Amino acid sequence: MQAIYRTHSHVNLGCAETGKMQISLLRIFLLAGILFPVLLITVILLFALLLGGLPNDVQLQPTVNLAFLQILWQGNPWETVKLVLVDKPLVMVEHLDHGSGLQLWGMFYYAGTVLVYLLTATFTALHLRRLRTSTTRQIVLFATGTAAVLISVTYLKLAACCTGGPGWVLDTWLLTYVFTPNTGGMDWMLVYERLQPWLSALQASMLVAGMAILCRWHLGTRKTAAA
């Protein structure tokens, strides 16, 4: 009887632990689901303040050419997947001129961009309690790492400088100086020509640096909690 009782006790404990784990995972998913749009909206509003003019149009890019994608899928499914998930953005948030309807600026979210936002939201949800008890220095560290990660995957297009496709935000920022007259004595065209071959490496480095900062924050908060 005692053996049977112990067996039932272990089963009940196992079920209780499984239930707690499921509730914890559900809580994390719900928090991540809330934080994901919060991150998107925060970044969009910050860039809107810098660029002038709030966004007034949002497009789900795959739905714009849905008929074409359906035809392409029938002939070449792999090329369709590559076009949607790699070559073209999934979502475009833009500010259109009220008179002409022309795009003044646009932010483009590729599949990789959306994935990084989701991972950042999940990481934040996992460590939200620890973030609440962090010191001011640790919060600044977390914010810096998060900003570096998100900026590294932000793609922007400005009508004032860029007639082609969207570019990484730093690339676009440099081009605004190239195409803006009277920007001082610096030769921005020369600066851009020298930096342009290194922009992809700089973008990747910023992503890695942001992740490293977040790891440092995580390790630092663990030490603080253990102390």
pLDDT digits (tens, 9 = 90+) for 57-110: 999 888 877 888 888 888 888 888 888 888 889 999 999 988 888 889 999 999
Q: Is 96 helix (H, G, I), strand (E, B) or coil?
A: strand
Within a domain: residue 81? Answer: yes
Within a domain: residue 58? Answer: yes
- Domain limits for position 208: 33-226
Within a domain: residue 165? Answer: yes
Locate 77 and state its tokens: 């499914």
Whether pTM > 0.95 for this model: the answer is no
User: How many structural domains is the chain composed of?
Assistant: 1
Give yes or no for a contact between 162 and 105, defined as CB atoms under 8 angstroms apart: no
Which of these, 143, 168, 144, 141, lies nearest to 157 by C-alpha position? 168
Within a domain: residue 24? Answer: no
Q: Which residue has the tokens 């809580």?
A: 27
**Number of helices followed by number of strands (H, E) in the chain:** 10, 5
State residue 87's pLDDT score: 86
Neighbouring C-beta atoms of residue 72, cutoff 10 Å: 16
Give yes or no for a contact between 90 and 114, defined as CB atoms under 8 angstroms apart: yes
CA distances from 140 to 28, 143, 151, 186 (A): 23, 5, 16, 33
Within a domain: residue 13? Answer: no
- pLDDT digit string, tens, across residues 167-198: 999 999 888 888 876 656 778 888 889 998 99
Give yes or no for a contact between 88 and 97, defined as CB atoms under 8 angstroms apart: no
State residue 8's pLDDT score: 47
State residue 134's pLDDT score: 85
Give yes or no for a contact between 104 and 97, defined as CB atoms under 8 angstroms apart: yes
- pLDDT digit string, tens, across residues 198-210: 999 999 999 999 9
Within a domain: residue 46? Answer: yes
Residues contacting 224, CB < 8 A, separation 6+: 134, 135, 138
Within a domain: residue 116? Answer: yes
| Region 21-44 average pLDDT | 86
